[in-house]
Amino acid sequence: MNRRGALLRDGRAALLFLAPSALGFGLFYLVPFGMGVWYSFTDRTGSGSFAGLENYREVLASASFRQAAANSLLFTGIGVPLLIALSLLLALLLNRSLYLRQTLRTVYALPLVVPVASVALVWQIFFDWNGTLNAWRHALHLGRIDWLQSDGSLWVLLLMYLWKNIGYDVILFLAALQAIPASYYETARIEGAGKVRQLLHVTLVYVTPAMVFVVLISVVNSFKVFREAYLLEGDYPYGRIYMLQHYMNNLFLSLDVQKLSAAAVLMVGSIVLLASFLLRAERKFRDNLE
């Protein structure tokens, strides 16, 4: 009875300490999101009437939305696998005994503390029509390329995404690699496993749970690349880097809250479905591993 009373007392204390954060989360996140979901089913804000799925039909029929969705999916489909592969490779290298290993770890973490506006400004100076890269090409008697107004703008944005996020993913992978017991590798060597088999059957197997989390974070960050694209090219960039957030931002500027809410719900729903699939796959993998 005393133990049960102590648990209840501890539970009340925990709820008391969590209440401010829970209140803030509900007030500034859950309530606005719930209002957005409701607005997506109405014909106008405030005293609007229920419009069913009309806003969703108009959004899905919009050529701008389809272009933005295709660009966002293409960016995520290229950027996330590249980011995962490069960050895992760097983590494997930094997990070895290398010269200046600590310095290299610091260098990879530096982009995390650089403001996005500063990053965009440097990228703009480098890839602009009169920027550094075109100055080098001109010195080599090569023609100038308007990188930000061509299909190359997608690769410019991908490079920025990789540079900005690779350090964080490397840190996460390093933590996962260092958590693998050395005895697993010793057992694998005793059984005759070479470096490749150790990588495939020990390292990648035990780093998979961390990889699921890294993939989720990387997908979320790929949707946040709108900040960089907006700072580089504004509201209406070149078509290849016109993202979902551009579409929603322009709806916000025109005060079309209903379609904006519908587009936001579609995007959040897609991310939630992807996250649920990855978490479920990771749970099954962990159960099989045990």
* Strand, coil or helix: 42: strand
Find out whether 212 and 277 touch, Cβ atoms under 8 Å: no
State residue 78's pLDDT score: 92
Residue indicated by tokens 């979320």: 220
Residues in the chain: 290
Find out whether 109 and 115 touch, Cβ atoms under 8 Å: no
State residue 153's pLDDT score: 86
Residue 84, burial from CB neighbour count under 10 angstroms (0-12, 13-18, 19+) = middle
Residue 148, burial from CB neighbour count under 10 angstroms (0-12, 13-18, 19+) = buried
Question: What is the spatial distance between Cα 228 and Cα 16, in angstroms, rounded to a whole number?
Answer: 40
**Bridge partners, 50 (sequence order):** 42
Find out whether 228 and 158 touch, Cβ atoms under 8 Å: no
pLDDT in tens, the chain (290 residues): 467 777 778 778 888 888 888 898 888 888 888 888 888 888 877 677 888 888 899 999 989 899 999 999 999 999 999 999 999 998 888 887 766 666 766 777 777 777 878 888 888 888 888 888 888 988 888 888 888 888 888 888 999 899 888 888 888 898 888 888 888 888 888 888 788 888 888 888 888 888 888 998 899 888 888 888 888 887 788 888 898 888 888 888 888 888 888 998 998 888 888 888 888 887 887 776 65
Find out whether 78 and 151 touch, Cβ atoms under 8 Å: no
Give the DSSP H/E element, type plus range, for residue 254.
Answer: none
Distances (CA, A) of 186 to 181, 208, 230: 9, 20, 51
Homologous superfamily assigned to 72-289: MetI-like (1.10.3720.10)
Written as six digits, the tokens of 113 are 């503390």
Written as six digits, the tokens of 91 are 């983590």
State residue 2's pLDDT score: 66
Residue indicated by tokens 């401010």: 20
Question: What is the spatial distance between Cα 146 and Cα 130, in angstroms, rounded to a whole number?
Answer: 9
Distances (CA, A) of 69 to 207, 253, 266: 31, 19, 10
Find out whether 238 and 148 touch, Cβ atoms under 8 Å: yes
Q: Domain extents for the chain?
A: 72-289
Question: What is the spatial distance between Cα 243 and Cα 14, in angstroms, rounded to a whole number?
Answer: 42
Other C-beta atoms lying within 10 Å of the C-beta of residue 70? 13
* Strand, coil or helix: 50: strand
Written as six digits, the tokens of 81 are 């696998």
Distances (CA, A) of 162 to 83, 97, 134, 258, 266: 6, 25, 22, 34, 26
State residue 11's pLDDT score: 78
**Bridge partners, 42 (sequence order):** 50
State residue 270's pLDDT score: 87
